[in-house]
Amino acid sequence: MERSDAAEYWDDVYAERPASADPRPNDRLVETVTPLPPGDALDLGCGGGGDALWLAHRGWRVTALDVSAVATTRLARQAEARGLSDRISARQHDARDSLPEGPFDLVTAHYFHTPYAQDRTAILRSAAHLLRPGGRLLVVDHGSTAPWSWNQDPDVRYPTPREVAAPMRLSPDRWTVERADTPRRVAVGPNGHTAEVVDHVLLIRRTG
């Protein structure tokens, strides 16, 4: 897909879903970030905006990117309605082109999968380099196919967290893998249905 096609595709995906009055944060973000002091965060693929809003409520300053203008416009409206516009910058932007300069204390990429071509490893590696010392990159991927997923290919294989980390080639002298596991949880889909799913969780901390 061309860049315009990708933006159009995701605009259609979000336009078909009613805007949530109260978008919820992802479980793995909450469990990872709750103990951390607030700072500067980059949300890659902000989607419905639940993560960015939750972070901002906790005092984080959030740069939220998504290729979909529908998603970022909704998030900007939610932030304004909650008095969080000064903490959330919602930007329609294709991460394949560039990333913000940073630095950041947290970069989060939840379910950063897409049907169009992108060098995800290069994007995540670049994101890791945007971290301040002590900052963390949280990558949460699908480890199973939910009934409501856009990708219902029965032959799809989801790389393990270690397989995601390895090609990033981050020096162990400057980055440490703090978590790489595959927990299960009960998820709620856009239609309210529930299903048990597997998450692939990778947490990398910059040490120097």
In DSSP notation, 62-104 reads EEEEES-HHHHHHHHHHHHHTT-TTTEEEEE--TTT------E
pLDDT tens digits for range 41-80: 999 999 999 999 999 999 999 999 999 999 999 999 999 9
Better-scored residue on pLDDT, 103 or 18? 103
Note the pLDDT of residue 1: 45
Name the residue ranges covered by the structural domains of the chain.
3-17+25-206
Cβ(202)–Cβ(165) below 8 Å = yes
pLDDT tens digits for range 157-202: 889 999 999 999 999 999 999 999 999 988 777 777 788 889 999 9
CATH number, domain 3-17+25-206, options 3.30.2320.50, 3.40.50.150, 3.40.50.2300, 3.90.1150.10 = 3.40.50.150
pTM of the shown model:
0.90
| Location of structure tokens 């239609």 | 191
